[in-house]
């Protein structure tokens, strides 16, 4: 999935010399990824794996894909590392200015909409799959997903990235609405573990952030401490 997208992007680089250099030298840096976000009563839990790959080379095994947009709004990034970092920086800067103008923290929906404006209007030039999640005082915990074409939709649970393909069935079967905070963290941890052990483009540690009205609680579940499932 990631490599097909790369081939589309690097048309300019296809010369006969490309076959002489290792494949990872011609590959865009991608976050082939497993990301997810889940709403619960009082906030949201966002989670991601920590692998950044260039072709089949792991260029960063401890990446932080959970990016701060504001103090109570985070985004999970998948797709091109450069594109998603640039977009997140722009939206974060807009939200900072907005906070000064409004005199209060911006709404999650506003941040999500700003992401969408960029992802939709520049859809042919970007490769960015982003999940925006956070807490605000008007609607509480919210998760908005913005896939490749730039549409935006609010969901109680959102998964994304190349690793997500392996856990659609798992979340359909195992997700229960109205879980409490610790149950939600546990669900995110288990789901991401399942995704990253099957997806070659995902791996490393599971990073989780719990966002509530009281702030952001960041956690790391180290790779050798992840739960063990069927290993066949």
Partner 1 sequence: MNTGKSHTMYPSTSGTSVVGLVYDGGVMLAADSLGSYGSLARFRDVKRLFKVTDKAALACSGDIADYQFIREVIEQKVRDDVCGGYTRELNAGALHCWLTRVLYNRRSRFDPLWLECVVAGYKDDEPFLGYVDKIGTAFEAKEVATGFGLHFAVPMIREAREKKQNLSCDEARKLLTECLKVLYYRDCRAHFKYQLADITPEGVTIHDDLNLKKETNWEVANYISGYE
| Residues designated as active site | 33
- Residue 9 C-beta: closest distance to partner 1, Å: 17
Q: What are phi and psi of 31, to 5 degrees?
A: -105, 75
As to burial, measured by CB atoms within 10 angstroms (0-12 exposed, 13-18 middle, 19+ buried), residue 179 is middle
- Residue 54 C-beta: closest distance to partner 1, Å: 9
The residue from 148, 155, 200, 217 that contacts partner 1 (CB under 8 A) is 200
The Cα 121–Cα 179 span in angstroms is 36
**Measured at the alpha carbon of residue 182, what is the angle toward residues 176 and 188, in degrees to the nearest 5?**
60
Q: Which of residues 8-47 bind partner 1 (CB under 8 A)?
A: 32
Q: Which residue lies nearer to partner 1 by CB, 55 or 150?
A: 55
As given in the structure block, the two tokens for residue 123 are: 């859809």
Q: Is 170 in the site for partner 1 (CB under 8 A)?
A: no
- Residue 139 C-beta: closest distance to partner 1, Å: 26
Q: Is 57 in the site for partner 1 (CB under 8 A)?
A: yes
Residues that contact partner 1, how many (by CB under 8 A): 36
Q: Are strands 35-40 and 140-146 parallel, antiparallel or unpaired?
A: unpaired
Q: How far is CA 22 from CA 18, 44, 57, 82, 188, in A?
A: 8, 41, 10, 21, 36
Neighbour-count burial for 35-64, b at 16+ CB within 10 Å, e otherwise: bbbbbbebbbbbbbbbbbbbbeebeeeebe
Q: Binding mask 87-126 vs partner 1 (x if CB under 8 A, - otherwise)?
A: ----------------------------------------
- Residue 66 C-beta: closest distance to partner 1, Å: 9
Q: Which segment (94-102, 108-116, 179-187, 194-202) binds partner 1 by CB under 8 A? A: 194-202
The Cα 205–Cα 186 span in angstroms is 14
Q: Is 67 in the site for partner 1 (CB under 8 A)?
A: yes
- Residue 140 C-beta: closest distance to partner 1, Å: 25
The residue from 5, 29, 62, 179 that contacts partner 1 (CB under 8 A) is 62
The residue from 126, 207, 211, 212 that contacts partner 1 (CB under 8 A) is 207
**Contact call for residues 116 and 150 (beta carbons, < 8 A):** yes
The Cα 160–Cα 79 span in angstroms is 10
Q: What are the residues binding partner 1 (CB under 8 A)?
A: 1-3, 32, 50-51, 53, 55-58, 61-64, 67-68, 85, 162, 166, 197-201, 203-205, 207, 218, 220, 222-224, 231-232
């Amino acid at each position: 999935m990631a490599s097909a997208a790369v081939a589309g992007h690097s048309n300019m680089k296809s010369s006969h010399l490309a076959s002489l250099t290792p494949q990872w030298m011609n590959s865009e840096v991608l976050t082939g990824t497993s990301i997810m976000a889940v709403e619960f009563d009082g906030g949201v839990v966002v989670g991601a794996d920590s692998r950044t790959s260039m072709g089949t080379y792991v260029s960063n095994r401890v990446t932080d894909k959970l990016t701060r947009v504001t103090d109570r709004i985070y985004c999970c990034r998948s797709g091109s590392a450069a594109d998603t970092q640039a977009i997140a920086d722009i939206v974060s800067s807009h939200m900072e200015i907005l906070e000064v103008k409004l005199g209060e923290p911006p709404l999650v929906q506003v941040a999500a909409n700003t992401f969408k404006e960029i992802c939709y209007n520049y859809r042919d030039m970007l490769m960015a799959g982003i999940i925006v999640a956070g807490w605000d005082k008007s609607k509480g915990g919210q998760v908005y997903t913005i896939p490749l074409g730039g549409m935006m939709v609010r969901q109680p649970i959102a998964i994304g990235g190349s690793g997500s393909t392996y856990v659609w069935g798992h979340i359909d079967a195992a997700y229960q609405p109205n879980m409490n905070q610790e149950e939600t963290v546990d669900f995110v941890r288990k789901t991401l573990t399942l995704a990253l052990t099957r997806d070659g483009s995902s791996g490393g540690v599971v990073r989780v952030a719990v966002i509530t009205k009281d702030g952001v609680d960041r956690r790391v579940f180290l790779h050798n401490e992840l739960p063990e499932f069927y290993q066949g």
